[in-house]
Amino acid sequence: MKDKHDRQKMPEQKPSERIKNFKEVPFGYTEELALNEASRCLECKKPMCVKGCPVNVPIPDFIKLVKQGKFAEAARKIKEANSLPAICGRVCPQEDQCEKLCVIGKMSKPVAIGALERFVSDYEREKRNVAIPKVSEKTGKKVAVVGSGPAGLTVAGELAKKGHEVTIFEALHKPGGVLVYGIPEFRLPKKIVESEIDYVKQLGVKIVTNAVIGKSATVAELLEGEFNAVFIGSGAGAPKFMNIPGENCVGVFSANEYLTRSNLMKAYMFPEYDTPIPRGGIVAVVGGGNVAMDSARTALRLGAEKVIVLYRRSREEMPARIDEIHHAEEEGIEFHFLVNPIKFICDEHGKVKEIECIKMKLGEPDDSGRKRPVKIDNSEFSVKIDTVVIAIGNDPNPLIQKTTPGLEVNKWGNIISGKESGKTSIEGVYAGGDIVTGSATVIEAMGAGKIAAGAIHKFLMGEK
Ligand SMILES: Cc1cc2nc3c(=O)[nH]c(=O)nc-3n(C[C@H](O)[C@H](O)[C@H](O)COP(=O)(O)OP(=O)(O)OC[C@H]3O[C@@H](n4cnc5c(N)ncnc54)[C@H](O)[C@@H]3O)c2cc1C
């Protein structure tokens, strides 16, 4: 066994096996590994890790409980700040948040906070030992939440704990937002999401699916009706395209459509579900974020002969989580850096068969702080492909903005809301998550939900 003072590695499926199934890749810590890892935490008096967490999980407190073998208690400690710990333990970019600030990280590898969070929340669920906290006395106030992604689920759970009656309206037939339609089973099993949504429901939150706000009812109608306040957490679900020739060839997908077909429409469960989706052939994925990694790894599991990722910057600038890039590389995904498609070419049936690309070099940093990709003249080349998945980002879902007069938005269509409150330009209407920030992270959406819950509570109770 490795020295217990090294960061404990999580056991996982071998790459050669996992590319043939959609089962979760890492198996999670055993009790022994969790105890070893927890023993590395120094329990700092001024814990920097907490500062790196957008929802302020009491990290040293929960790790101390792990050290004592009190695993279910540790899970409950996390839930004082975060209702979705099994999800966050799996998908949060810890390397840029809590773990980045861990003091041990200065000398060796930081404490595996995410892996410990995952371990204790799985332990609590697997032992069927999930405790539902006492909710406050009913206030008689009602709140409508639009969207059941991490922002909506968080605001709803927090308000329910404070005694308000909360109804989430979700456009799709399944709650969870990106957690169910975007992130694949091999990274975030559906049963984990379902059980954390169930926890929110047990706090008293009602979820109405197939309810498209802006069509079934407008925000104004919700406020004029039974609801005292509305929170909008409708996310960034409108895919961006490249606007280059041939983008409408058959076989060119947005990552949203491709992943929704696989995840929500269960193409990944073939032959039980025979959802149409291309299987086999050469698949090119355009982009370098988590969405691109998820699309590439999904394509491999759906039977692609070869998957190539085309990214216009270099590896250092890739926004995907380090783990996802590493897993994709291990699985044999080919990365082509500093290239960008300029044209998709179809055959006589309108089916894509080739991509024309151009080589890029890195220039000065842009607004994002990353080096700007610049075209290299006369460097065009072609790649033969059967399917393309475009994963270059998302725009906000536009329906609510269009159907809510007086709701201020920025030039990209994101709702403008106060950082410290989530307040929008309309009294009683709050917003947070990707609809405000543009595509970001699960924990940032949850952080926004938590802030808005505090402000909505004050508004409902007439507090300043
Ligand atoms: C493929 C993929 C992989 C990702 N991987 C990671 C990762 O590893 N780690 C990470 O931290 N983040 C990741 N992200 C980003 C993260 O998932 C999002 O930042 C987060 O889900 C945003 O939460 P949200 O609640 O604002 O919106 P969403 O999760 O988008 O939820 C919005 C919900 O609102 C619903 N809705 C929209 N309009 C209406 C309407 N008019 N009426 C009713 N309902 C409506 C939508 O159907 C949706 O369910 C990933 C995103 C994608 C797409």
Task: Compute the distance between CA of residue 455 and CA of residue 100 in angstroms, rounded to an integer.
Answer: 30
Averaged pLDDT of the chain:
95
- The DSSP element (H or E) to which 328 belongs, if any, is helix 322-330
- What is the CB < 6 Å shell around ligand 1? 91-93, 146-152, 169-172, 177-178, 182-183, 212-214, 233-235, 237, 259, 290-291, 294, 321, 397, 399-400, 433-435, 439-443, 445
Q: Whose CA is nearest to atom 13 of ligand 1?
A: 441
- Select from 290, 291, 446 the residue to mutate for testing ligand 1; criterion: most ligand atoms less than 8 Å from CB: 290
Query: What type of residue sits at position 405?
Result: P
SS3 label, residue 445: helix
SS3 label, residue 144: strand
| Pairing mode of beta strands 334-337, 429-431 | unpaired
Task: Compute the distance between CA of residue 198 and CA of residue 285 in angstroms, rounded to an integer.
Answer: 34
Contact by Cβ (8 Å): 358, 375? yes
Q: Could you identify the atom of ligand 1 that is nearest to the CA of residue 176?
A: 49
CA of 375 to the centre of ligand 1 (A): 32
* Nearest Cα residue to 300 out of 321, 279, 272, 325: 279
- How large is the angle between the packed helices 59-67 and 31-38, nearest 10 degrees? 120
Q: What pLDDT does 3 receive? A: 53
Task: Compute the distance between CA of residue 169 and CA of residue 401 in angstroms, rounded to an integer.
Answer: 16
* Residue carrying structure tokens 């990280």: 105
Q: Distance from CA of residue 158 to its chain's centroid?
A: 20
CA of 439 to the centre of ligand 1 (A): 8
* Nearest Cα residue to 47 out of 114, 103, 5, 127: 103
Contact by Cβ (8 Å): 296, 328? yes
Secondary structure letter of residue 148 according to DSSP: -
CA of 51 to the centre of ligand 1 (A): 24
* Nearest Cα residue to 430 out of 411, 412, 404: 404
Q: What pLDDT does 370 receive? A: 82
Contact by Cβ (8 Å): 453, 158? yes
State yes or no: cis peptide before 396, omega within 30 of 0.
Answer: no
Tell me the whole-structure pTM to 2 decimals. Answer: 0.94
In 10 A of CB 146, how many CB atoms? 29
Task: Compute the distance between CA of residue 333 and CA of residue 301 in angstroms, rounded to an integer.
Answer: 11
Please state the rounded mean pLDDT for residues 288-294.
96
SS3 label, residue 282: strand
Residue 340 has phi, psi (to 5 degrees) of -140, 135
Contact by Cβ (8 Å): 458, 229? no
Q: Which residues contact 384 (CB under 8 A, 6 or more apart)?
A: 282, 353, 354
CA of 327 to the centre of ligand 1 (A): 22
Task: Compute the distance between CA of residue 434 and CA of residue 425 in angstroms, rounded to an integer.
Answer: 18
CA of 384 to the centre of ligand 1 (A): 33
- The 10s digit of each residue's pLDDT in 71-115 is 999 999 999 999 899 999 999 999 999 999 999 998 899 999 999
Task: Compute the distance between CA of residue 455 and CA of residue 439 in angstroms, rounded to an integer.
Answer: 23
Q: What pLDDT does 371 receive? A: 87
Q: What pLDDT does 367 receive? A: 81
Q: What pLDDT does 1 receive? A: 44
Token representation of residue 134: 């006492």
In 10 A of CB 225, how many CB atoms? 10
- The 10s digit of each residue's pLDDT in 368-408 is 788 899 999 999 999 999 999 999 999 999 999 999 999 99
Q: What pLDDT does 369 receive? A: 82
Residue 284 has phi, psi (to 5 degrees) of -110, 130
Please state the rounded mean pLDDT for residues 276-298.
96
